[in-house]
Amino acid sequence: MTGRYARLLGLAAVLLTTVACQTGSATAAPVWQPSSQSSSQSSSPSSSRPSTGTAPSSSRSTASARQDVVTWGASADQMGQGTADRGYRLVVHTSAAGSDLRVRLSNAFGDRPLTLDSVYAGLQSQGAALKPGSNKRLTFDGARTVTVPAGATAWSDPLPGSLPAGSNLVVSLHSPDAAGPATGHWMAMQTSYATQGDHTAEESAANWTETTGSWWYLDSVSVRPKNPATGAVVALGDSITDGWASTSDQNRRWPDYLARRLQKADTEVKGVADEGISGNKVLADGAGQAALNRLDRDVLSQPGVRTVFLFEGVNDIKAHSGVTAADLIAGYQEVVRRAHAAGKCVVASTVGPFEGWSEWDPAGEAVRQQVNQYIRTSGEFDGIADFDRILRSPYDQARMLPFLDGGDHIHPNDKGMQAMADSVDLAGLDCDH
């Protein structure tokens, strides 16, 4: 939601942070457990170009076959230039438990093929160090090397073994010849690691001495839960969903809190993918592709998705670009139409308060109120959440409650993130369309 320059300044602290990823609410994950399923039982990995059609519709499985479900995701965006002989050790925090882990590598914004000659998945011990015995090589259609065409993605083969819910998964990858625009997620709010040369097989942190606050080339992780009816929710949003103003390395974005609630709840929705991009808009490209332009790749293509959680629009409103309530409502309606066509439900949240932010003005506030009235009363969504009501001050409903304010009057702090997640009706996420 902030400008690119402001986000770069804010991320400097993240890039220098070397604190290990920890989550107070999640227990430490054990190493890989044996699995009775072999990788040969799963379909081969696939590649697809972004935004080239709606993902095929799917209904809830009643058969005994277990289905892949997204357990972590981050929206793809264009990064800086790729670097040859570069390795990345990426720390991600999963949601749903399951076996047969797969990762999706993205070259969505590349202008040439991307070759990755070594990819491993393990469990974090501390910092860049891995739990002994957890680091396992991933293959792609049986091969150790994969070349992802420009604009495409590629899934790995299933990795035998089981992954507990709430694991600190570490994906290590190396490219011998990366060049041109790289694909990744800029504002990870998570410390990961980098190195020159191929050290992906090493469980030691000795050669992983550089840090990065971004996720490179990785945009999704899936597992195969024991319950074949397990599904996932994907949060489509901006910097609030991306976690700006939450504590780095602690998994305190509102989708993280939501994931922890879901793990404890009597619901079949267990997977959560956070597809927020800082500064993102519903209608216009800028800070990442517009929500309408990335919906297929970032949301509908994720495996096992049952519900799309739409929480976006404040950047369209405060940009002073002439966007009206009718314009934004039309954008929401397109998200609903396309998600329903793909067999997904849509839960939408009201737009939060932001008076005190430099771009706030009465005209924008009027648009926000009209949009929120539509979300609350139109009946076009399969469910709603009212984050505006949760975050706003009872004394000035255009402003955020100070107790929940991250300091800039638009981004909630950790307590605000948790309050948002706690307000979500979990039963409303478990729906059929």
Residue with tokens 């991320």: 11
Q: Is 425 exposed, middle or buried (0-12, 13-18, 19+ CB in 10 A)?
A: exposed
Question: Residue 115 — φ and ψ, nearest 5°?
Answer: -105, 130
User: Residue 180 region, left (φ>0) first, then alpha (ψ -120 to 50), else beta?
Assistant: left
Angular region, 145: left φ>0, alpha ψ -120 to 50, beta rest: beta
At residue 62, the pLDDT reads: 37
The list of the chain residues with pLDDT below 70 reads 1-65
pLDDT single digits (tens) 63-90: 346 799 999 999 999 999 999 999 999 9
Alpha carbons 274 and 394: distance in angstroms, whole number: 29
What pLDDT, on a 0 to 100 scale, did the predictor assign at position 433? 73
Write the CA distances from 368 to 300, 372, 382, 386, integer angstroms: 27, 6, 21, 13
- Measure the CA–CA gap between 104 and 405, rounded to whole angstroms: 35
Scanning the structure block, which residue is given the tokens 């998945």? 121
Q: In this predicted structure, what is the pLDDT of residue 432?
A: 78
| pLDDT at position 32 | 53
Cα–Cα dist 241/297, whole Å:
17
- What is the radius of gyration, based on Cα positions, of the chain? 20
Tokens found for residue 96: 């749903």
CATH topology of domain 229-429: Rossmann fold (3.40.50)
- The DSSP bridge partners found for residue 92 are 169
In degrees, to the nearest 5, what angle opens at C-alpha 275 toward C-alphas 88 and 418? 105
Q: Tell me 33's DSSP state.
A: B
Residue 228: burial class (beta carbons within 10 Å; 0-12, 13-18, 19+): middle
Domain boundaries, the chain: 79-219, 229-429
- Residue in 22, 18, 74 with CA at minimum distance from that of residue 191: 18
pLDDT for 417 = 98
Query: 64: left (phi > 0), else alpha (psi -120 to 50), else beta?
Result: alpha
86, two tokens? 């570069």
The residues that bridge with 123 in the sheet, in sequence order, are 169
Residue-wise pLDDT for 303-346, tens only, equals: 999 999 999 999 999 998 899 999 999 999 999 999 999 999 99
pLDDT of residue 231: 98
* CA–CA distance, 428 with 433 (Å, rounded to integer): 12
